Structure formats: structure tokens, C-alpha cells
Chain A
Amino acid sequence: EVQLVESGGGLVQPGGSLRLSCAASGFTFSSYSMNWVRQAPGKGLEWVSYISSSSSTIYYADSVKGRFTISRDNAKNSLYLQMNSLRAEDTAVYYCARVARDGYNYVFDYWGQGTLVTVSS
């Protein structure tokens, strides 16, 4: 069974940093591209970042470019999101999501349960 479990969320002050993790199991993690998607309270989905299976290709949404860094450790079956210079508008539930297969990078077939990040003083 495919499982994605996020962790690392919490309360952080504006300007602070946080590192999210996503532990993957039930599939060959190193063969799949991954994403982070967030959802502010009561709002819609916002794609945040994409990383290919080998980490050779990385994309960011303009809203986080230069502040967030996506990475992965295929040996540990883990995905990460380093978030720096956090702002109030980064407050959201953060989901990790698996890309279904090559050629369908916009298709996210499995999602974690999410981890809440709250940026507030």
C-alpha cells in the first residue's frame, strides 16, 4: 500500500525557518517524481514545488522561489521542503504528492495527509 506521511509542521515566527519531511512507503520511491502542494485555511490548492526522481529537475512556484528548497533522499525514501524567510501567507496545510508516472507530471495519484504550518508572532 502506497503511503506518504508528512511531518515537521508547527508554529513558527515570521522570518523563521522550518523543514518538512515526507516519508514514503509501499512503492519504489526512487522511480517517482514528487511534489509539495499547500492549502491555506479555507482556500484552494496551490502547487509549491516539483522534484524529479533523480533530483535533476526542480521547479518552484513564483510565490516561494528563493525561499523554499525541495530535496529528496532516495536511500531514505524521503522528500523534504526547507522553508526559509517564512511569511504569514505561507500558513497552510502542506501535502506531499506523488506523480503518477513519466509523461504525466501534472497527475498526482497519491497524497499524504498533510502537515500544518502556521506562521505567526
Chain B
Amino acid sequence: DIQLTQSPSFLSASVGDRVTITCRASQGISSYLAWYQQKPGKAPKLLIYAASTLQSGVPSRFSGSGSGTEFTLTISSLQPEDFATYYCQQLRLTFGGGTKVEIK
């Protein structure tokens, strides 16, 4: 089974900061990776798929990159509404453990 490891598990950042979250796959998955954002008490929201394709309606400050086994989600300038938990997901459907982004 393919495992996804996200790092860090938790990060503290300020509004305006550039934030990068990493997702590593235990074996190559080409570009079959999606990123989701989840706020407390809410369902996850799709941000990015195919590693770097922005879902319709998602702000352009979100971007994704990578292929094979290493992927990143970048928020270019963190906004107050971006404080949430972020998950990656791979083509075999399993999710990474999540990265919680909190206000510094």
C-alpha cells in the first residue's frame, strides 16, 4: 500500500507569510495527487488536483508542485481564512495525516 507522509504536522504562521507543506509518497504516484483544505466542523474542500491544477474558484495564492514521490502545497501569502488543516490524497485514494496551519 502507498503511504503518504505530510510534514510538518503542525505549523504556526502569520498573515502574509509564505507557507509550504510537503507530502511524500512511499512509492511513485506520478502526478496523481490532490490537496484539500478542512476547517473545523466543515467538510474538506478540494484545492488542487493532478499535483498542480487549481480547482475552479480556488484563489491563485494556492499552488501545488511535484511528481513521483515528493509534492508541495504552497500558500504564497497566508490570509486569515487560510488557517485550517490541509490534507494530501493519492490515486489509491488514501490521505496523508494532515497539516494544521495555525495563527502565530
Contact = CB atoms under 8 A, between A and B. Distances in A.
Contacts of B97: 44
Contact of A44 (B1, B92, B95): B95
Interface residues of B, number: 25
Interface in B78-104: 85, 87, 89-98
B46 A106 contact: no
A112 B43 contact: yes
A9 B6 CA distance: 30
Given A44-B97, A45-B98, A100-B49, A108 B44 contact: yes
Nearest to B89: A106
Number of contact residues on A: which range applies? Answer: 20 to 34
B55 interface: yes
A114 B94 contact: no
A104 B49 CA distance: 8
A44 B87 contact: yes
Select the residue from A35, A47, A59, A113 with max chain B CB neighbours within 10 A: A47
A61 B93 CA distance: 9
A110 B97 CA distance: 21
Contacts of B21: none
B73 interface: no
Given A44-B95, A47-B94, A105-B93, A100 B46 contact: yes
Interface in B35-50: 36, 38, 43-46, 49-50
Contact of B43 (A61, A105, A114): A114
A46 B93 contact: no
B42 to A, nearest CB: 8
Given A95-B43, A106-B33, A107-B49, 19 more contacts: A44-B95, A44-B98, A45-B36, A45-B38, A45-B44, A45-B89, A47-B89, A61-B94, A95-B44, A100-B46, A104-B50, A106-B32, A106-B89, A108-B34, A108-B44, A108-B89, A109-B55, A111-B43, A113-B43
Interface of A: 35, 37, 44-47, 50, 59, 61-62, 95, 97, 100, 104-109, 111-114
